Amino acid sequence: MARTVRAVMEAEPTAPAPEKLTVTLVINGRETRLSVAPWTTLLDTLRDRLALTGTKKGCDHGQCGACTVLVDGRRINSCLTLAVMKDGAQVTTIEGLAKDGALHPLQQAFIDHDAFQCGYCTPGQICSAAGLIAEGKAKTVDEIRELMSGNICRCGAYVNIVAAIQQAMGKA
């Protein structure tokens, strides 16, 4: 009872040669002018154009949090953000958290608490936690847990991640 089908993957509409747009981002304190295709995500801009590979691509759909960076101090999923949407913005990535050779309190706290295993989610966890602290909403452990729920750690190092954030909040 074999039936014959012609399955044709739907072709993308043939777009004209991509017009690039110029965008200026202040990345980790340094002003950077870039010419990018309008659909280029902030994540791909950071990783592929600027070699800032600390920010990771996990799911590319804004569901795992591995790509979290700070834009004007707020945490966002850089995979769901186009670079051109953030013209003129201040972008802080994991590479920009340490100041004058001293680790950010969250970085130190993550080391102190072994708050990672494979380390792939770690840059996103730390940037997300920095945003969380800046928001000032999380007062209790439960609130930290809830407000960090957008960052998946598949190794399950959550106990130590939450402990590290608590430590950093105490110092902040």
Least Cβ distance, residue 161 to another protein (angstroms): 7
What Å distances lie between residue 145 and 76, 104, 122, 153, 168, CA to CA?
A: 18, 21, 16, 12, 15
Interaction between residue 11 and another protein (CB under 8 A): yes
Distance CA 166, CA 28 (A): 25
> How many other C-beta atoms can be found within 10 angstroms of the C-beta atom of residue 39?
11
Interaction between residue 29 and another protein (CB under 8 A): no
Of 30, 74, 154, 171, the residue at the interface with another protein (CB under 8 A) is: 154
Size of the site for another protein (CB under 8 A): 67
Interaction between residue 19 and another protein (CB under 8 A): no
Least Cβ distance, residue 16 to another protein (angstroms): 12
| DSSP letter string, 65-102 | -TTEEEETTEEEEGGGSBGGGGTT-EEE-GGGS-BTTB
> With respect to another protein, which residue has the nearer C-beta, 25 or 65?
65
Least Cβ distance, residue 59 to another protein (angstroms): 4
> With respect to another protein, which residue has the nearer C-beta, 22 or 63?
63
Task: Enumerate residues 94-153 that contact another protein by CB under 8 A.
Answer: 94-95, 98, 103, 106-108, 110-111, 114, 116-123, 126, 141-142, 144-146, 148-153
Interaction between residue 166 and another protein (CB under 8 A): no
> How many other C-beta atoms can be found within 10 angstroms of the C-beta atom of residue 140?
9
Provide the 3-class DSSP secondary structure of residue 137.
coil
Give CA torsion, residues 20, 26, 30, 35, to 10 deg.
0
Interaction between residue 75 and another protein (CB under 8 A): no
| DSSP letter string, 117-135 | SS-SSHHHHHHHHHHHHHH
Distance CA 30, CA 35 (A): 16
Task: Catalog residues that contact another protein under the rule CB under 8 A.
Answer: 1-12, 47, 51-61, 63-64, 66, 93-95, 98, 103, 106-108, 110-111, 114, 116-123, 126, 141-142, 144-146, 148-162
